[in-house]
């Protein structure tokens, strides 16, 4: 967690000073003749802040602050800063302190509940966050914010049915995220249906997913999985190829799977079609195919030979190996294949999280569709 810029803290402390002065003396009334009239506890609170004893400082400020309309923004600002700094327990104390006051205006109580729910979410206390967000979602002006937060709580709980429910409610108030998110929820539900053997329900869910987003490679992959279970390998191959055309980043995982499904005599024709497709796009796509082929131990496959040579002779990093001669490059290709088997093959382009598995939903930053094929291979 990075520290907030000093300036931000200075502004908060300034807000605290103004808030406390306002609370103590009242705006419009006589301004204190000198700061020496400040409550001595307030100065003690500042001492604690300066000497980096934040908990004691917080105790002191909470004791001093009246929750009247003049100091309330300060409470919210301080609570939000603590949460952003990852000091969630302090944020929770501030918001609970606010809610404990009988004189709190209803609109401030609703905001404090929302802030406390966000603290709980940040602290990973999902059940408490869920209950509060549900309560706040009844408030019309906060409904969209609370429903969207609820959707994220359900995502973290992997409760896809509820996440879809929150999405649909958001759509009704025209505040839903892109429809691809709903399509992913439906695919998560379809995956569970396939796991429990209910392929009829899985097909229904995938039809709904395709109504939300088309083309949608994830739905094609799941339909391929169902076709494979139903002993329809030709349909499975067609759907897998469709998914690979739509999402070439799936090649690393799905190329070996695809080749396992095709008859041995049809393998070269499928590879040639993949080469033609990659050639018709751009060099990076060809490179992606070549690396997936190398990882799948297909260095010697005839339809790929020209592509492997092309990538090795034109890629800036691999050129040196290419110049050393064909024997050298074949050996290097095998070595790269061995390295790729243990490399981190995917990376989230939102947060940089990387790993050996592909995720539709980033486990670190919870973005959808943010994973890209990626590998660091050190050439000796
Ligand atoms: Zn991420």
Query: 106-123 pLDDT, tens per residue?
Result: 999 999 999 999 999 999
Handedness of CA 331, 332, 337, 341 (dihedral sign): positive
Ligand 1 centre to CA of 275 (Å) is 31
Copy the structure tokens of residue 377.
Answer: 């291979």
Would 91 be classed as within a structural domain? yes
How many helices (DSSP H) and strands (DSSP E) are in the chain?
A: 19, 3
Q: What is the pLDDT of residues 10-59, one digit of tens each?
A: 555 555 554 444 444 433 333 343 444 556 666 676 666 666 677 777 77
Q: Are 182 and 167 in contact (CB under 8 A)?
A: yes
Taking the centre of ligand 1 as the mean of its atom positions, its distance from the CA of residue 163, in whole angstroms, is: 19
Q: pLDDT tens, 259-294? A: 999 999 999 999 999 999 999 998 888 988 998 898
Identify the residue whose tokens are 């790993």: 355
Question: Residue 31: what pLDDT?
Answer: 37
Q: What's the gap in Å between 374 CA and the centre of ligand 1?
A: 14
Q: What would the two tokens of residue 32 be?
A: 């204190």
Tell me the average pLDDT of the chain.
Answer: 84
Spacing, Cα 355 to ligand 1 middle (Å)? 11
Q: 2 or 133: whose pLDDT is higher?
A: 133
CB–CB of 83/91 below 8 Å? yes
- Number of residues that make up the chain: 380
- The tally of domains found in the chain comes to 1
Average confidence (pLDDT) over 333-345: 79
Over residues 64-101, the pLDDT tens digits come to 665 455 678 888 888 998 999 899 999 999 999 999 98
Residues with CB under 5 A from ligand 1 (ion): 348, 350-351, 353, 362, 364-365
The answer to whether residue 328 is domain-embedded is no
Query: How many CB atoms sit inside 10 A of residue 274's CB?
Result: 24
In a domain, 30, yes or no: yes
Residue 316 in any domain: the answer is no
For residue 17 the two structure tokens come to 């000073």
Residue 368 C-alpha to ligand 1 middle, in angstroms?
8
Q: Residue 219 has what pLDDT?
A: 97
Distance 290 CA to ligand 1 centre (A): 26
For residue 211, pLDDT over 80 is answered with: yes
Domain that holds residue 65: 1-123
Q: How far is the CA of 8 from the centre of ligand 1 (A)?
A: 27
Rounded percentage of the chain residues whose pLDDT exceeds 90: 55
Ligand 1 centre distance from Cα of residue 202 (Å): 27
Which of 128-132, 193-197, 327-331 shows the lowest per-residue confidence on average (mean pLDDT)? 327-331
> Quick check: is 136 in a domain?
no
Query: Which stretch of 23-32, 61-70, 233-242, 243-252 has the lowest confidence by average pLDDT?
Result: 23-32
CA distances (Å), origin 323, targets 299, 315, 338: 18, 12, 22
**Contact of 221 with 239, CB cutoff 8 Å:** yes
Q: Which residue has the higher pLDDT, 357 or 194?
A: 194
The Å distance, Cα 356 to ligand 1 centre, comes to 14
Q: Could you report the per-residue pLDDT of 177-197, keeping only the tens digit for each? A: 999 999 999 999 999 999 999
Task: Say how many Å lie between the CA of residue 373 and the centre of ligand 1.
Answer: 14
112 and 54 in contact (C-beta within 8 Å)? no
In a domain, 279, yes or no: no
Find the 85 Cα to ligand 1 centroid distance in Å.
20
* Cα–ligand 1 centroid distance for 348 (angstroms): 5
- State the pTM of this model: 0.79
Higher pLDDT, 309 or 198: 198
Tokens of 365: 């930053």
Decide if 181 is inside a domain.
no
For residue 35, report the distance from its CA to the centre of ligand 1, in Å: 49
Residue 267, both tokens? 């393998």
Residue 248 located in a structural domain: no
Report pLDDT for 356. 84
- What pLDDT is recorded for position 136? 98
Q: What's the pLDDT at 39? A: 63
* pLDDT over threshold 80, residue 62: no
Hey, what are 320's tokens? 């040196």
């Amino acid at each position: 967690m990075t520290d907030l810029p000093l300036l931000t803290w200075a502004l908060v402390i300034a807000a605290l000073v103004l808030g406390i002065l306002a609370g103590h003396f009242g705006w419009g009334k006589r301004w204190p003749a000198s700061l020496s009239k400040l409550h001595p506890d307030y100065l003690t609170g500042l001492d604690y802040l300066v000497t980096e004893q934040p908990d004691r400082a917080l105790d002191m400020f909470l004791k001093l602050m009246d929750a009247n309309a003049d100091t309330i923004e300060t409470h919210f600002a301080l609570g939000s800063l603590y949460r952003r700094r990852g000091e969630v327990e302090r944020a929770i104390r501030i918001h609970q302190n606010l809610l404990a006051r009988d004189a709190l205006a209803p609109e401030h109580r609703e905001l404090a509940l929302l802030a406390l729910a966000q603290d709980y979410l940040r602290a990973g206390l999902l059940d408490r966050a869920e209950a509060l967000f549900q309560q706040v979602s009844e408030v019309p002006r906060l409904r969209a914010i609370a429903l969207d937060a609820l959707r994220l709580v359900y995502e973290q709980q992997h409760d896809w049915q509820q996440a879809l429910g929150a999405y649909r409610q958001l759509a009704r108030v025209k505040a839903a995220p892109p429809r691809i998110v709903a399509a992913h929820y439906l695919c998560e539900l379809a995956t569970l249906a396939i796991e429990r053997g209910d392929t009829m329900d899985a097909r229904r869910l995938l039809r709904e997913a395709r109504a939300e987003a088309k083309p949608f490679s994830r739905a094609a992959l799941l339909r391929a999985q169902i076709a494979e279970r139903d002993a329809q390998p030709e349909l499975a191959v067609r759907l897998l190829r469709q998914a690979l055309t739509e999402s070439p980043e799936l090649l690393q995982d799905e190329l070996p799977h695809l080749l396992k499904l095709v008859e041995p005599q049809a393998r070269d024709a499928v590879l040639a079609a993949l080469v033609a497709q990659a050639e018709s796009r751009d060099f990076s796509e060809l490179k992606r195919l070549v690396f997936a082929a190398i990882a799948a131990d297909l260095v010697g496959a005839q339809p790929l030979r020209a592509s492997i040579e092309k990538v090795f002779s034109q890629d800036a990093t691999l050129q040196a190996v290419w110049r050393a001669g064909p024997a050298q490059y074949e050996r290097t290709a095998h070595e790269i294949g061995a390295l790729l088997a243990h490399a981190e093959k995917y990376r989230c382009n939102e947060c940089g999280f990387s790993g050996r598995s592909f995720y539709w939903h980033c486990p670190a930053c919870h973005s959808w569709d943010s994973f890209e094929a990626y590998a660091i291979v050190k050439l000796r």
